[in-house]
Amino acid sequence: MTKIKVQDTEVTVISYDDKDYISLTDMVRNIENGLSLIEKWLRNKNTIEFLGIWEEMYNPLFNSPEFEGIKNEAGLNRFVLSVKQWNEKTNSKGLIAKAGRYGGTYAHKDIAFEFASWVSPQFKLYLLKEFQRLKEQEQTQLSWSAKREFSKINYHIHTTTIKNNLIPSEVTPKQASIIYADEADVLNVAMFGMTAKMWREHYPELKGNIRDYTSINELICLSNMESLNAVFIDQGLSQGERLIKPNQIAIQQMKVLEDSSNSSLLK
């Protein structure tokens, strides 16, 4: 569940059936008699036709015969239809009614934008703008998460190389963990200029570790350094040499990645 702000109105966006649904109730919350607008919109014949077309396109379980009956009555003075009745009669999935703290009428984004246009074309444009901004933020976070996982995979390669080359068979697990941490700090110092302990002491209010607060560019660079350091270990380079080389590589790679002319490479 996420909230976006549209013209001073907080609008809830939820995930339902792996799709984005937007609260119609929130859209009209700051309008006098706003909830009645949803009912009025749903009684409109054009609305019923639009909903029916959408359901027939995306919902194989939609009850088309029942829909035809509703469409024939739409527009008559006696015609009344609620979201619950629409769902029960047609087995629709474009509109849902939720109870509870964040209850109300929610619509698939296609339908929500249609409703917003009916209420106010200006509001629809701002809704589209904020919704797109939300999607861009989510995509950025997804990209960061994917690169974080990739970095973890490379870190596994890194630790395997450490195990095979730097950890004698007779050491205890506690001693081995110290060697792993020491080697991880080689990259931390090369990349961030501080060890994991130094970072925790400098940022006691933050949870997690130094790598949880890196940028996408830093994650890319760190992932590359983990692979390279594994090669350097296999080659028998000393820890001092392996501190200097990754640092030089980090500076060079970050300069390239941060260059705005190369920003398209990250998309």
Q: Which pLDDT does position 151 carry in this prediction?
A: 64
> Do residues 213 and 167 both lie within one domain?
yes
Predicted pLDDT at 217: 78
Q: Are residues 144 and 249 in the same domain?
A: yes
If we measure between CA atoms, which residue out of 67, 119, 118 comes closest to residue 91?
A: 67
Q: Whose CA is closest to 215, among 243, 159, 253, 245?
A: 253
Q: Which amino acid is at 184?
A: A
If asked whether residues 168 and 112 sit together in one domain, one would say: no
Judge if 153 and 67 occupy the same domain.
no
Strand bridging mode 19-23 / 104-108 = antiparallel
Q: Are residues 114 and 145 in the same domain?
A: no
Domain range spanning residue 156?
A: 139-266
Taking phi over 0 as left and psi of -120 to 50 as alpha, with beta for the rest, 75 belongs to left
Based on the fold, state whether residues 103 and 144 are members of the same structural domain.
no
pLDDT, tens only, 35-73? 889 999 999 999 999 999 999 999 999 999 999 999 999
In-domain check, residue 9: yes
Q: Is 130 part of any domain?
A: no
Instruction: Report if residue 163 sits inside a domain.
Output: yes
Q: What is the pLDDT of residue 146?
A: 60
CB 197 within 8 A of CB 210: no
Q: Pick out the chain residues at pLDDT < 70.
A: 140-158, 260-267
9 exposure class (CB count in 10 Å sphere: 0-12, 13-18, 19+): middle
Residue 177 lies in a domain: yes
Distance CA 62, CA 92 (A): 6
Do residues 67 and 90 make contact, with C-beta atoms less than 8 angstroms apart?
A: yes
Query: Does residue 250 fall inside a structural domain?
Result: yes
Domain-located, residue 129: no
Is 259 within the bounds of a domain? yes
pLDDT at site 21: 95
Long-range contacts of 75-79 (CB under 8 A, 24+ apart): 75/43, 75/44, 75/45, 79/43
Same domain, residue pair 94 and 150: no
Residues 176, 64: one domain? Answer: no
* Domain contains 132: no
Q: Does one domain contain both 161 and 47? A: no
Q: Tokens for 216? A: 């996408």
Quote the pLDDT of residue 71: 93
Specify whether 79 is located in the same domain as 179.
Answer: no
Same domain flag for 16 and 111: yes
Q: Are residues 146 and 261 in the same domain?
A: yes
- How many structural domains are present in the chain? 2
The tens digit of pLDDT for each residue in 79-98 reads 989 999 999 999 999 999 88
Question: What pLDDT does 266 receive?
Answer: 44
